[in-house]
Amino acid sequence: MAWPFPPVATLFVLVIFTGIVVVVISKALDHLWARVLSAGRVYYGITIPGIVIHECAHMLGCFITGARVKKIVFFSRDGGSVTHGPPALPLLGNIIISTAPLFFIPLVLAGLIWLFCTYAGCSLSFSIFPIESAGTAISLVTGSVFILWENLVVRFNAWFLLYLYLVLSLILSLAPSMQDMKNAAAGLMILTGAGLLVIWSNMGMVVPLFSTLLQFIATGLALGLVFEILAVLVSLPALVAFSLKEG
């Protein structure tokens, strides 16, 4: 039986689902490491690079949307923060600023692939594609396991340990904070409704343009998900330690 919804509707649902998964995994890993390390100095040492890049992403979002940055905090007991004025874009502005880390951090992680492959001799090969079935999800997991095996067992590379540290730190800071989500909630709901109207309207050139935008967002989220799988594998020892501690 044919799927009753148009491809753009399927892609729309896929983007929403992938976005939720990416946020949940990042939050869960951050919670795990905070509990295992009791949110002490070691935990903050792990998260420092991710916090700095997270706040830089918000600053970039402010620059793009014309919002004046008033105050930047990279290090505090509650993490980092960026205080800014109202964006020039009334609806999209808060969404772009609040969700900027979801798309900026994966780009930084992609840049790390080039850096560590080119100058540190690491063997890093990722396949980036949206999760559309259990088979594609399994492919991402097996690819991540292969990377760990290649750089830690087959041909040990000490620089790869630094790469893993940076990946973990960035993934722990990938998800928007609760305040970020509150700031973007109204706009996201409106845009979701507008997206559904576009899909149902089936308007000429509008639907293809919307589909192209969704493809771009889906690719960014898939990129984040690939690195999250690697971070999950790195976090397995911490998960075991946490289970033994709780037991």
Alpha-helical segments (H) within the chain: 7-36, 41-65, 92-119, 134-149, 158-172, 178-201, 206-246
The per-residue pLDDT for range 10-29, each reduced to its tens digit, is 878 888 888 888 889 999 99
φ/ψ region of 76 (left if φ > 0, alpha if ψ in -120 to 50, else beta) reads beta
Q: HSE on the CB side for 139, CA within 13 Å?
A: 13
Mean pLDDT of the region 33-44? 81
In this prediction the pTM is 0.83
Domain boundaries defined on the chain: 7-45+99-241
Contacts of 179 (CB under 8 A, 6+ apart): none
The per-residue pLDDT for range 169-207, each reduced to its tens digit, is 999 998 888 888 887 777 778 778 877 777 777 766 777
| Amino acid symbol at 141 | V
Spatial contact of 223 and 110, defined as CB atoms under 8 Å apart: yes
The per-residue pLDDT for range 57-72, each reduced to its tens digit, is 999 999 999 999 998 8
Q: How far apart are CA 35 and CA 29, in angstroms?
A: 10
User: Does the pLDDT at position 220 exceed 90?
Assistant: no
